[in-house]
């Protein structure tokens, strides 16, 4: 485990076709990106096999980067119930992979992520991506959007959890 001033967080933007992930290290107020990308599953593959691929690849990433904390975006869907159900299954696989590593995984609403990263709960994708780039000292916005969203979720968790610790008077 890192010193109390250092934290490694994995942010996850859940999906069954494309799952975004980012591993962010915080040392005091300085943030740096350790890893960022996506896990993709082929459209022709049946859902159980897609979920198995997500589980195996995410578990390997957790083993490789050893985050102490993780965070995921809450499920948000419009009218496509079938997609929402499949994404719900993928979320459960994500939770299983992370919890099996002994890591809790709080969830954040999209508006909470936007507010924590940009200061505005209705920020647009481009605004969020630019703030991720700035906060992580990157040359460009992470691509694809799912990876940038995962980085934003990790940043949200780092900021939110820090404030919660201060509010409750707990120390790491």
Catalytic residue among 73, 112, 145, 149: 73
Here the tokens at position 155 are 């940043």
Give every strand in the sheet of 107-108, ordered side by side: 30-40, 18-27, 6-13, 69-73, 107-108
Alpha-carbon distance of 70 to 82, in angstroms, equals 27
Catalytic residue among 13, 69, 112, 149: 13
The two tokens of residue 145 are 């959007």
**β-strands 30-40, 69-73: how paired?**
unpaired
Catalytic residue at 13?
yes
Tell me whether residue 145 is one of the annotated catalytic residues: no
What kind and span of H or E run contains 18?
Answer: strand 18-27
Question: Chain-centre distance of CA 13, in angstroms?
Answer: 5
Angle between helices 125-135 and 110-118 (to 10 degrees): 50
Does the annotation mark 73 as catalytic?
yes
Q: Exactly one of 25, 112, 145, 146 is catalytic; which is it?
A: 146
Cα–Cα distance measured from residue 26 to residue 107, given in angstroms and rounded to the nearest whole number: 19
CB atoms closer than 10 angstroms to residue 140: 7
Which are the catalytic amino acids?
13, 73, 146
């Amino acid at each position: 485990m890192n010193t109390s001033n250092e934290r490694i967080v994995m942010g996850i933007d859940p999906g069954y076709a494309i799952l975004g992930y980012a591993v962010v290290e915080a040392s005091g107020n300085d943030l740096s990106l350790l890893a960022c990308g996506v896990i993709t599953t082929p459209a022709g593959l049946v859902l159980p096999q897609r979920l198995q691929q997500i589980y195996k690849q995410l578990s390997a990433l957790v083993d490789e980067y050893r985050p102490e904390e993780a965070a995921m975006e809450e499920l948000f869907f419009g009218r496509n119930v079938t997609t929402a159900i499949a994404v719900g299954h993928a979320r459960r696989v994500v939770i299983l992979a992370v919890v099996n590593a002994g890591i809790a995984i709080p969830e954040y609403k999209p508006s909470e992520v936007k507010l924590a990263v940009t200061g505005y709960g209705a920020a647009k994708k481009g605004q969020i991506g630019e703030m991720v780039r700035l906060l992580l000292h990157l040359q460009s916005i992470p691509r694809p959007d799912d990876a940038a969203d995962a980085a934003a979720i990790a940043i949200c968790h780092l900021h939110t959890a820090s404030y919660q610790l201060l509010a409750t008077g707990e120390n790491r």
